[in-house]
Amino acid sequence: MGRTPVVTAIWFLAICCAGDTRAQPAPVPGGEPPPVPVPKAPVAYPHPLITEILYAVPTKNGDANRDGERQTTGDEFVELINPHDRAIRIGGYTLHDSAKPGRTQFRFTFPQLTLHPGQVVVVFNGHESALKGESDGTVGDGATSPSKQHPDFGNAWVFTARAPSTRAGFANGGDWVMLLDPRGVPVQCAIWGDAEKPVLPDGSACVVEMVADSNGVSAQRRGLDGPFEPHPPYRASGLGADAPLMPFSPGVFVVPGLTRLEDMPPYKGER
Ligand SMILES: [Ca+2]
Ligand SMILES: [Ca+2]
């Protein structure tokens, strides 16, 4: 059966409007909006980029995974973004800390997931945590990708690593988080405190960065090309204007010119 004229018109509008939904500056009268320059990320296509790390969960306001309780390691997280202008696939990429492989190492490998430009993904340590959306598939794990983007975390794709032990977490005094590509090749390493640098093969293209001391807050990258700095106070969406300002923003990393409107967190408070 053919489409009616009305249905055809709606279909045509939907296709047109679905084209480019990235955040754009307001048009100026009589002219085209200027293009928003997107800073160049330090990692090459098709790698994701680590944008935020919570390695020392604060004793006050430490419930980063928002399950109602503060867990010493369960609330730790790593946030990444697709910093490129094309979609990437993150299945097979691995995050791990400096511990040797085993029950005391934090380690998480992504299942298949396509990340569109500007989309954000968060991996919570998850030890002894019960995240909202874990039971209905909104939160993914090492075996299954999330069924949808998580509205409580800036519309990011959210995972739990379900770390098996409190020892399988980041060391506050010094540690690092390494990102490996699906072949096991180091892509990015963020180091803090007194941790020794990882041993990398000669000629490695791994991006090695020092993280500013961020005990009590997360370390968040200043833009795509900036350094990791202590996170400024932030009020997560949906918590109300009287909610406390938080020292992290899992799932929220907005890049003008790259972040798409549908990926922007709903605005319900200060940013
Ligand atoms: Ca928690
Ligand atoms: Ca963030």
Residue 18 alpha carbon to ligand 2 centre in Å: 26
* Domain limits, the chain: 37-196+204-271
Residue 158 CB contacts under 8 Å (≥ 6 apart), including other chains:
121, 122, 124, 131, 133, 138, 139, 140, 146, 150, 250, 251
Q: Which of 42, 35, 25 is nearest to 225 (CA)?
A: 42
Instruction: Provide the b/e sequence for 53-91 (b: ≥16 CB within 10 Å).
Output: bbbbbbeebbbbbbbeebbbbbbbbbbbbbbbeeebebe
Report the percentage of the chain scoring pLDDT > 90: 76
Query: What does the alpha-carbon distance between residue 76 and residue 239 come to, in Å, rounded to a whole number?
Result: 20
Residue 168 alpha carbon to ligand 2 centre in Å: 22
Using a CB cutoff of 5 Å, list residues around ligand 2, an ion. 52, 249, 252-253
pLDDT higher than threshold 50 for residue 212: yes
pLDDT attached to residue 170: 97
Residue 185 alpha carbon to ligand 2 centre in Å: 25
User: What element of type H or E holds 13?
Assistant: helix 5-17
Query: What does the alpha-carbon distance between residue 51 and residue 165 come to, in Å, rounded to a whole number?
Result: 25
Q: How many CA atoms lie within 13 A of 232 on its CB side?
A: 6
Q: Which CATH number fits domain 37-196+204-271: 3.40.50.1100, 2.60.40.10, 2.60.40.1260, 3.30.410.10?
A: 2.60.40.1260
Helix (H, G, I), strand (E, B) or coil at 86: coil
* pTM recorded for the entire structure: 0.86
> What mean pLDDT, rounded, does the chain reach?
88
pLDDT higher than threshold 50 for residue 14: no
Query: What does the alpha-carbon distance between residue 129 and residue 72 come to, in Å, rounded to a whole number?
Result: 10
* Amino acid at residue number 241: A
pLDDT attached to residue 242: 77
pLDDT attached to residue 18: 34
Kindly identify the ligand whose nearest atom is closest to the C-alpha of 134.
1
Tell me if 175 sits within 8 A of 196, measured CB to CB: no
Q: How confident is the model over 139-188, as pLDDT tens digits?
A: 999 999 999 999 999 999 999 999 999 999 999 999 999 999 999 999 99
pLDDT attached to residue 36: 82
Kindly identify the ligand whose nearest atom is closest to the C-alpha of 68.
1
pLDDT category, 102, cuts 50, 70, 90?
very high
* Amino acid at residue number 175: D
Kindly identify the ligand whose nearest atom is closest to the C-alpha of 160.
1
Residue 29: phi and psi, rounded to 5, are -55, 130
pLDDT category, 28, cuts 50, 70, 90?
low
Tell me if 31 sits within 8 A of 216, measured CB to CB: no
pLDDT attached to residue 9: 37
- Residues written for the chain: 271
pLDDT attached to residue 22: 45
Kindly identify the ligand whose nearest atom is closest to the C-alpha of 61.
1
Range name among 37-41, 143-147, 219-223, 238-242 with the lowest pLDDT average: 238-242
pLDDT category, 266, cuts 50, 70, 90?
low
Q: Is the C-alpha dihedral spanning 134, 159, 182, 193 positive or negative?
A: negative
